[in-house]
Amino acid sequence: MRVDRTALWLLGASIVAAGLAHGQAPVTERVPAKSVYHGVEVIDEYQWLENWDDQKVKDWSDAQNAHARAFLDGLPGVERIRDRITEIEKSVSVAYVGWAAAGNERDGVRYYAMKRDPAFQQPLLVVMDSVDHPDTARVVVDPNTIDEHGHAAIDWFIPSHDGKRVAVSISSGGSESGDLHIFDARGKLVEPPIKRVNGGTAGGSMAWFPDDSGFYYTRYPREGERPSEDLDFYMQTYSHTIGTPESTDRYEMGKELARISEIQLQIDPPTGRVLASVQYGDGGEFSYFMRQPDGAWTKFLDHEDEVVQAVFGKGDSAGDVFLLTTKASPRVRVLRMSAATLDLKSARTIVPEGENVIVPDFWPPSPVVVTPKRLYLTYQMGGPSEIRAFDHEGKPLKGPDVLPVSAVNNLDAIPGTDDLLFDNRSFIDAPACYHFDAETAATRKTALAVVSPVDFSDTEVIREFAISKDGTKVPVNIIKKKSVKLDGRNPTILWGYGGYGVNIQPAFSAVRRLWIENGGVFAVANIRGGGEYGEEWHRQGMLTKKQNCFDDFAACARHLVTRGYTSVDRLAIQGGSNGGLLMGATLTQNPDICRAVVASVGIYDMLRVELSPNGAFNIPEFGTVKDPEQYRALYAYSPIHHVKEGVKYPSIIFLTGANDPRVDPMQSRKMTASMQRAVAGVPGANPVLLRTSANTGHGMGTPLNARIEEQTDIYSFLFNELGMWSEGEGAAKAKESKN
């Protein structure tokens, strides 16, 4: 849906009419609010912008949107960019992602998947008989019929063991607050939905009973069960039998857990054992609980055991659990332990720590897959990843072949076999589902493959290493045309994240072709704070060591300039969420490092982030102001507290969604106000813009048209700031298509 620009202009116009006439940003009222941290007085002049229930704040936001639209809509080439992005986005072939196989030899195997079709705002959930015959796909759930504007979205789905039913979490408006629906394979709703099963940060989970007659599920408190400020916390687990009222559901576990606990469930069908993996916030600390066949829950692992993932065995390993641990092995090793005794002391190492990192993941789909005779592990090598195969005693076996400098995801076993399905993609190769035949050791691409609407055959990927402030080597992945000259004149985007132990892998983007065909270079930095080289790499960029992330990223930016890929005046930096924090810290610490900044759904006030509804989940990663040492570290890099008046900062666009459940939009509001105040009166000051989308959140579930509009704004902004329309064959092509 195209943004209603007329409405945006009218809203709040009385506040900013005079300023807009001169292209100036709205003037933000300064209301000093004092806080004291460990004897240090801190003044916050924009604390009033935190209250979204205040109409004055909404008027301010509308005025900022109007100011941003006045700037963005007036840029040269906007329609040409929109046309090209629309052409690419709506020419992308149908894609099937997030597949899950279910069923058995007797009744047959069904393959559920999310179908991304450019004709629809949101992906559809479909089921098919074969990954080589997507023409057999039948629609099970179409969110586009739930909300005609495309604001309803599927958070996740889990098929029953026999494949005859599927559990689906559905949320609205980017909120990720999902209700659990049970459909049969024909798309018929089986019974009324269960409310509040999924949330914006702690997520949600369910696991089918062995006979598929019901399931275990997580849910958040309902109104009246806890105070309003606790309704997005205190996740607990229940069990439900299909055909019975929800009021008769049985409480299972969770009351004893911490406020910010996050729960993921899995079941062992032969025994009925249920495994609950519990993460303390988002910091990578885990505990584990087992429900034995008699119904009793036992806590068998805690944070100090440093187990980062647990998976039930099958076939040759039935009755056991595979554990991934970082204890004395930051690059991870694999243990095998009895699920009956749950005695960690008797667990034995079957896959030792190696040079590369074994990838654990709390969130499904798991990068670890167990089949009757095989164990498949995902390894990461500083960004790129691959799959390796072992038997259940840890003996290496032939594993799947993958693309060079690529990423593997969505591993899923075909029931009753040792065969594996997986997604493989690179920066220049479109994603596809591959099938690995365990018996022949052959890997082949299935029919579930994206056909790219653009050609990257003239493009190459180069991996280089920047040297950070403390001498650490930091990988930089550089995507460019083979013909690009290292003359320091190439417009370049440097993207980064660096947090939560997340491995930033090669990712394909068809729209990126717009940048490449106009002579642009795109680079991705694998900085500390991520998981590219294991847990130690993560720990070197979290809590009181977070500054390493910003030093790494700045080193990567300077590397691109030194090596001749670009110059400061032709460099833009970009990131979102934790990467938005990276943008804020980079521009305040190094205002002369680049020409433009794109910061999406970012965190900028590190002293008050933990007070937001979702903020407590971030404490294990960032720290808390209640701890003196952590407070000092937080304040030292908190972007909003280091904005200086009179500095000529780069051009900046902040982007946020009004329904963001993960990072409170007030972060972007306050940072925008601070930056606009700082540059007011600076000769030749660059623009500081805030773009707030009314019907989206952190990015999940964003409708296609809204994505097109956001990408149009970002690329128009960057093309203008880096002076791109005067150069490049892409400009000529875009002009031809416009004419």
Q: Enumerate the β-bridge partners of residue 420.
A: 413, 436
Please tell me the predicted confidence (pLDDT) of residue 41: 96
Q: Where are the domains of the chain?
A: 5-88+454-738
DSSP H helix total and E strand total for the chain? 13, 39
Q: What would the DSSP string read from start to end of 415-436?
A: TTSS-EEEEEEESSS--EEEEE
Q: What's the Rg (C-alpha) of the chain?
A: 25
Structure token pair of residue 460:
């190459």
CA dist., res. 159 & res. 328, Å (int):
37
pTM of the model: 0.87
Strand residues in 347-405 grouped as ranges (E):
348-351, 357-358, 368-370, 375-380, 385-390, 396-397
The string of pLDDT tens digits covering residues 29-86 is: 999 999 999 999 999 999 999 998 899 999 999 999 999 999 999 998 999 999 999 9
CA dist., res. 416 & res. 329, Å (int):
33
Please tell me the predicted confidence (pLDDT) of residue 15: 28
Residue 484, phi then psi, degrees to nearest 5: -65, 135
CA dist., res. 695 & res. 683, Å (int):
36
Q: Enumerate the β-bridge partners of residue 9.
A: none
pLDDT class of 354 with cuts at 50, 70, 90: very high
Q: Enumerate the β-bridge partners of residue 423.
A: 409, 433
- Spatial CA neighbour of 662 closest among 538, 579, 597, 596: 579
- Spatial CA neighbour of 460 closest among 413, 427, 509, 505: 427
The string of pLDDT tens digits covering residues 235-257 is: 999 999 999 999 999 999 999 99
8 Å CB contact between 676 and 63: no
Strand residues in 119-260 grouped as ranges (E):
124-128, 138-141, 152-159, 165-172, 178-184, 194-198, 206-208, 214-219, 236-241, 250-253
- 164: amino acid identity, one letter: K
Structure token pair of residue 513:
């072709």
CA dist., res. 143 & res. 53, Å (int):
29
Instruction: Show Cβ contacts of residue 455 under 8 Å, excluding neighbours closer than 6 positions.
Output: 513
pLDDT class of 694 with cuts at 50, 70, 90: low
pLDDT class of 10 with cuts at 50, 70, 90: very low
CA dist., res. 253 & res. 264, Å (int):
12
Instruction: Show Cβ contacts of residue 512 under 8 Å, excluding neighbours closer than 6 positions.
Output: 479, 522
CA dist., res. 446 & res. 431, Å (int):
11
pLDDT class of 612 with cuts at 50, 70, 90: confident
Q: Which of the listed ranges 13-22, 155-164, 702-711 does the model predict with the highest average pLDDT?
A: 155-164
8 Å CB contact between 403 and 378: no
pLDDT class of 21 with cuts at 50, 70, 90: very low
Please tell me the predicted confidence (pLDDT) of residue 14: 28
Structure token pair of residue 504:
């930033």
Sign of CA dihedral 437, 449, 511, 458: positive
Instruction: State yes or no: pLDDT of 727 exceeds 70.
Output: no
Please tell me the predicted confidence (pLDDT) of residue 201: 78
Q: Under CATH, domain 5-88+454-738 is a member of which superfamily?
A: Alpha/Beta hydrolase fold, catalytic domain (3.40.50.1820)
Please tell me the predicted confidence (pLDDT) of residue 93: 87
Residue 351, phi then psi, degrees to nearest 5: -125, 110
Helices (H), 652-727: 666-679, 704-721
Q: Find the range with the poorest average confidence among 288-297, 525-534, 717-726.
A: 717-726
The string of pLDDT tens digits covering residues 538-557 is: 999 999 999 999 999 999 99
- Spatial CA neighbour of 52 closest among 608, 612, 604, 624: 612
CA dist., res. 249 & res. 266, Å (int):
18
Mean pLDDT (whole number) for 455-473: 97
Mean pLDDT (whole number) for 181-200: 96
Burial class (CB in 10 A: 0-12, 13-18, 19+), 23: exposed
CA dist., res. 535 & res. 533, Å (int):
7
* Other residues' Cβ atoms within 10 Å of the Cβ of residue 293: 11
Q: What strands, in cross-sheet order, belong to the sheet with 320-325?
A: 307-312, 320-325, 333-338, 348-351
